[in-house]
A and B are shown apart, each in its own frame.
Chain A
Amino acid sequence: AQTVTQSQPEMSVQEAETVTLSCTYDTSESNYYLFWYKQPPSRQMILVIRQEAYKQQNATENRFSVNFQKAAKSFSLKISDSQLGDTAMYFCAFMKHTNAGKSTFGDGTTLTVKP
């Protein structure tokens, strides 16, 4: 079974600064997807970024980028130029490439962006 670990229950960052959220996972699969989802106080879950394991290039979406280290089974999320609207809970998730969409989620990291 896959496990996803987010070792930072809470983090804070000053507005406009950069912050990195950590995620590690355990799997014997070679093909899979990794995701970061954001859950703001409104509780709506939104996909932030996705990485396909067979792609070596790190995914980037505007101010959000990942550092994907396949051998180390690490998938961290970097948020640059943090904005107040980035305040949310962030979930790291894993999905096997051959699975029917079943994702395993980490326990989440609560990020607070301070003005």
Chain B
Amino acid sequence: DTAVSQTPKYLVTQMGNDKSIKCEQNLGHDTMYWYKQDSKKFLKIMFSYNNKELIINETVPNRFSPKSPDKAHLNLHINSLELGDSAVYFCASSRAGTSGGGEQFFGPGTRLTVL
């Protein structure tokens, strides 16, 4: 069984469109994250949720809005897509705080291409 899954794995869309990426984890973790990996492979955290509450919100444009309907799901909605949004987006999860030793479990990534 996949521990952290993301859909879709590939997303190609036009500038100005709105799109969503879904993430689900079946590990029973309390904390979930969104990361962005750019073309140079740099990995930057965007958001973190703990028990459905936003706890980390890095400097991310307002066009990005995470939503956590329950602690097993963290979706990412992006409005008015721009060329610079093209990247691989990773969802991850971990146990709350440091109880799990801090290890994060990553999804397979969603490659977003904005044309």
| Residues of A near any B CB (own CB < 8 A) | 33, 35, 39, 42-47, 50, 52, 89, 91, 95, 97-103, 105, 107-108, 110
Partner of A107, one of B31, B42, B104, B105: B42
Q: Mark B38-54, 1 if CB is under 8 A from A, else 0.
A: 00111111001010000
CA distance A55 to B40 in the complex (A): 34
Nearest-neighbour CB distance to chain B for A49, whole angstroms, equals 10
Interface-lining segment among B15-23, B77-85, B88-96: B88-96
In this assembly, does B33 line the interface, its C-beta being within 8 Å of a C-beta of chain A?
yes
Q: In the bound complex, how far is the Cα of B101 from the Cα of A97, in angstroms?
A: 9
Other A-B pairs, 10, CB within 8 Å; known A46-B106, A101-B33, A101-B96: A42-B108, A47-B103, A100-B50, A101-B50, A102-B45, A103-B104, A105-B42, A105-B43, A107-B40, A108-B41
Classify the secondary structure of B's interface with A.
strand
Q: Tell me the count of chain B residues lying within 8 A, CB to CB, of chain A.
A: 27
How many angstroms from the CA of A33 to the CA of B40 in the assembled complex? 25
Question: Which chain A positions have C-beta within 8 A of B31?
Answer: 100-101
Q: How far is the CA of A46 from the CA of B109 in the complex (A)?
A: 12
- Among B48, B102, B106, the one with the most A-chain Cβ atoms within 10 Å of its Cβ is B102
Q: Considering the chains assembled together, what is the distance between the CA atoms of A107 and B96 in angstroms?
A: 25
Closest residue of chain B to A97 (Cβ to Cβ) is B98
Closest to B31 in A: A101
Given known pairs A44-B108, A47-B103, A50-B102, the reply for A89 and B41 (CB within 8 Å) is yes
When the two chains form their complex, are residues A33 and B98 in contact, meaning their CB atoms are under 8 A apart?
A: yes
Q: Is B56 an interface residue (CB 8 A)?
A: yes
Q: Which of B56, B88, B90, B105 contacts A102 (CB 8 A)?
A: B56
Smallest CB separation, B43 vs chain A (Å): 5
- Determine whether the beta carbon of B33 is less than 8 Å from that of A43: no
Known A43-B108, A50-B101, A50-B102: A103·B45 in contact at CB below 8 Å: yes
Contact of B48 (CB < 8 Å), options: A47, A52, A97, A102: A102
Residues from chain A with a CB closer than 8 A to the CB of B50 are 100-101
